Amino acid sequence: MEENMKRLIIYLIFALTNSAALQGQPLEVWPGDVTNNGVVNNIDFLHLGLAYNYVGPARDSINVNWQPLQASPWNGQFANGVNYAYGDCNGDGIVNYFYDAFPIYVHYGKTHGPVAPDTYPAGLPGIDPALEFDPNAAPAQVVGGQQFSLPILLGSPAIPMEDFYGVAFSVLVDPDFVDTDQVDFDFSAASWANPDNDRIFSINRVSDRRIDVGWVRTDHNEKSGYGPIGEASFIVIDDVVSVQQSFMIRIDSIKVYDRFGNEAAVAGDTLWINVTPDSQINATHTIFPTRKAPRVSPNPASESIGIEADDPIRLLSLHDASGRNLLQVRPDDRRYSCRLPELRAGLYFLQIQTDTGLFFQKIAIRP
């Protein structure tokens, strides 16, 4: 017993001196690269949920320029060994949605140094849970201009999803048939994964064929179950002219975490949609209302802007390209307009938080 106690004390001294030594070494944080693997993407967003509301030393300057910024290590690290300090993208000493998702959005796709590409465990259909579009909701035929919505299912009654905390995935479309700018996602409905409106999400249109999605809880509680976690809506390009009779929509590059950041293998999905060449058929079915991103006008703007959203705007802020906050208001209304402060011409970013989620809009200011 005494021997054990001695060992414990020696271990504690060792652990304390060791962590003190570690804390002496500053880290170099590139704002947005939460995983510190050299690239900014939806996996970084997923990690915000893993470290949500965690606190640590703030950086000397609150700055989100794309450069290495010195940070003191925080007390703790992600499952992959990366210190939580990397999760504090804006450097204010806390990990949250409003300020730390912004650098990920602004620097999305940027790289620094040698990149260690993110890996995606290959899920096996029929063995691992699947992330898929509800095949029963897919229209049998579509025509040009038709809108259709597909519930996004995670897990099934036969293979439910256990210990789910967050997911990152890509949706791939065929640009001859679907315009990625018109693909929309709705994660506002309550679900088995989100019974309590406790999740954050990000949507990045990476190219004309790929959209990256990140969805993660924030309360450090995981959920088990199966069924829809959200919905995606698509519009078939109006003047679709092709000899091809069908096009695919695919979910891949899937990463699923439990609340500690341990990965689970999840199978992806490819759905084929048939195109009816006869444009006489009226598209009247499978049209669901979708929540749209808030509308900002005019854009480009010079003296004033107006914003209109589907839900009350809870928080609105304007940032320059380096992330500096130039304006912050709480309109608590679906509509808001204001005069802009004196700004140099260039590109700026609006963050608009509604009950549906957090939206980013680029806004050009002209002289």
CB of 187: closest distance to Ca ion in angstroms?
22
**Beta strand pairing call for 166-173 and 210-217:** antiparallel
CB of 183: closest distance to Ca ion in angstroms?
24
Assess contact for 127 and 144: CB atoms under 8 A. Answer: no
Choose among 254, 167, 170: nearest CA to 204.
Answer: 170
- Binders in 48-67 for Ca ion, by CB under 5 A: none
Among 58, 77, 92, 222, binds Ca ion (CB under 5 A): 92
Q: Which amino acid is at 283?
A: A
Assess contact for 216 and 261: CB atoms under 8 A. Answer: no
**Beta strand pairing call for 333-339 and 346-354:** unpaired
**For residues 100 and 269, which CB has a smaller minimum distance to Ca ion in the complex?**
100
With residues binned 3-state (H G I as helix, E B as strand, rest as coil), the percentages for the chain, rounded to 5, are 15, 40, 45
Among 29, 30, 37, 165, binds Ca ion (CB under 5 A): 37
CB of 78: closest distance to Ca ion in angstroms?
11
* Pair of tokens at residue 250: 């695919």
Report the alpha-carbon distance of residue 216 to residue 41 in Å, rounded: 14
Q: How many helices (H) and strands (E) in the chain? A: 3, 20
Stretch that binds Ca ion, among 43-51, 188-196, 233-241, 291-299 (CB under 5 A): 43-51
Under rule CB under 5 A, residue 202 binds Ca ion: no
- The DSSP annotation for 353-366 comes to EESS-EEEEEEEE-
Under rule CB under 5 A, residue 179 binds Ca ion: no
Under rule CB under 5 A, residue 212 binds Ca ion: no
- Binders in 96-115 for Ca ion, by CB under 5 A: 99-100
Stretch that binds Ca ion, among 40-48, 51-59, 70-78, 127-135 (CB under 5 A): 40-48
Among 29, 30, 42, 44, binds Ca ion (CB under 5 A): 44
Under rule CB under 5 A, residue 88 binds Ca ion: yes
Q: Which residues 6+ apart lie within 8 Å of 21 measured at CB?
A: none
| Stated length of the chain | 367
Among 83, 90, 149, 191, binds Ca ion (CB under 5 A): 90
Name the DSSP letter for residue 13.
H
**For residues 39 and 154, which CB has a smaller minimum distance to Ca ion in the complex?**
39
Q: How far is CA 294 from the centre of its chain?
A: 17
CB of 326: closest distance to Ca ion in angstroms?
18
Among 33, 186, 212, 269, binds Ca ion (CB under 5 A): 33
CB of 43: closest distance to Ca ion in angstroms?
6
Stretch that binds Ca ion, among 42-50, 102-110, 127-135, 281-289 (CB under 5 A): 42-50
Site residues for Ca ion per CB under 5 A: 33, 35, 37, 44, 88, 90, 92, 99-100
